[in-house]
Amino acid sequence: MEENNAEVAELHDQPSRYTGLAIALHWLLAIGLIYQLWLGMWMGDIPKTPPGLRAEWFNWHKSVGIVLGLLIVLRGLWRLTHRPPELPDSMPLWQTWAANASHAVLYICMVAMPVSGFLGSSFTAYPIKFFGTPLPRLWEASADLKEIFSGIHTACSYLFMLMIAIHILAAVLHMMRRDGIAKRMLP
């Protein structure tokens, strides 16, 4: 009983939930990034004919990616200035380590995906269009650099999907345990 009282007192000194903005960004980005991963996989199967259809989907993917990239910057800045709620001391050390490591990899993927996608697209002969408006070309086309960044984008997408699956599984396990961890991020 004393342990629970100490834990409750400790939790009163810090937020027990994420902030409203952190929760909103989490769910908005979760939906957007899962959509982008699905769309990216689906786009590879679009035939190159009729002309323009494939390009329209790629331009849509790039535009949504830019918007999500800006939201990721906002989320990162918010996270740097607003500490997340602490994990309870009762959580085993290995779970705390796993949670911190998996969140770090998720953040790395969240940054690497739009950056590598933007750079890969920047080195093609085609302009990047943001919802139909061509963006200024930052540098000359380079097939080698396009391949490098596109390869990073593709490899990172598989790692990201794995980490999202692990993240969802961990959230479900916390819900089944009813330990209050998952409730901290629910709207």
List CB contacts of 59: < 8 A, sequence separation 6 or more: 129, 132
Which residues are paired to 129 by β-bridges?
A: 134
Separation CA 39–CA 55 (nearest Å):
13
Q: Is residue 50 part of a domain?
A: yes
Q: What is the pTM of this model?
A: 0.86
More confident residue, 133 or 11: 133
Q: Cα Rg for the chain, rounded, in angstroms?
A: 20
Q: For the chain, how many structural domains are there in total?
A: 1
Q: Is residue 7 part of a domain?
A: no
Q: Is residue 61 part of a domain?
A: yes
Q: How many CA atoms lie within 13 A of 62 on its CB side?
A: 24
pLDDT of 134-145, one tens digit each?
A: 999 999 999 999
Q: Is residue 11 part of a domain?
A: no
Q: Is residue 170 part of a domain?
A: yes
pLDDT of 67-94, one tens digit each?
A: 999 999 999 999 999 999 999 888 999 9
Q: Is residue 12 part of a domain?
A: no
Q: Return the CATH number at 119.
A: 1.20.950
Residue numbers of the domain that contains 170: 17-85+93-185
